[in-house]
Amino acid sequence: MSDRLAVLPQYLLPKQALTALAGKVAQAQAGGLTTQLIRWFVQRYQVDMHEAANPDIASYPSFNAFFTRPLKAGARPLAQTALVCPVDGAISQCGPIAGEQIFQAKGHHYSATALVGGDAALAAQFQDGAFATLYLSPRDYHRIHMPCAGRLTRMIYVPGALFSVNPTTARGVPGLFARNERVVCVFQSEYGPFVLTLVGATIVGSMATTWHGVINPPRPGLVREWRYDGADAPQLAKGEEMGRFLLGSTVVMLFPKGMLDFNPDWVPARPVRMGEAMSAR
């Protein structure tokens, strides 16, 4: 079966309604029922609870509390490189940006302008730069950390579809990551500007950042933007948590030309862990 045919049912599913329902279930504190759901999920996806700060499944009051669980202290040491991986997951794609075209999968590209919500001036900063797309599976740790120290300058919420973001869908849905709902976070670092984009997906109940909290819902269907200037702009350290997914998804990062020389081990489909070397130096 072709990838396009495999994803056809997603065009027909009521994705918004399913996502809203999943969000309510994930927030519910239903005692034994919640514990049963978490236990099923751990077994179904082979989640490693030994790394969790709290490995006791029965102690989590809601599925969201379990899904966004913190890790034990020291579980993800930071590599001594300029840029580290911000998440646990797998490399969907990474490499150079061709002009402003970002490679999604065989036969599919999308523009940096589309990804950041139509801001051509912002996208132009990453002309001929580099990108990395990292997929978080259900079994992964779902907090997102900083690849390097940075000062937040803007956050842009871009409404969109809620297709799945698994590898099959990436191959079958054109412009997937610039089509789905997303939160674009723009940072300034000692190496230059960079963008860290949280991409929503089917049944991703919400996305949250450490400085703002939950961003969606609400889902007003309009682009929303927050600007951070002066002394009040959030400053985050390398490896510090910056956000989280309430149910899993994908992170897309953009870097300007010359900022990122990839670790040669970084190739598509390779599993990665938060804190490992993303840059070669």
4 contacts: CB under 8 Å, gap ≥ 6: 172
- Catalytic site residue 140? no
Write down the catalytic residue from 92, 164, 206, 249: 249
Write down the catalytic residue from 88, 140, 206, 279: 88
Number of other CB atoms surrounding residue 17 within 10 Å: 9
- Catalytic site residue 59? no
* 78 DSSP assignment: P
- Catalytic site residue 108? no
CA 189 – CA 238 distance, rounded (Å): 10
- DSSP class per residue in 167-219: HHHHHHSTTGGGTB-EEEEEEEETTEEEEEEEEP-TT--EEEETTTEEEES--
If DSSP codes are grouped into helix, strand and coil, which group holds residue 137? coil
Write down the catalytic residue from 3, 62, 140, 145: 145
Cα separation of the two ends of the chain: 42
Question: Which helix (DSSP H) or strand (DSSP E) does residue 114 occupy?
Answer: helix 112-115
Bridge partner residues of 245 (DSSP): 207
- DSSP class per residue in 87-108: SSEEEEEEEE-BTTEEEEETTE
What residues are annotated to the active site?
88, 145, 249
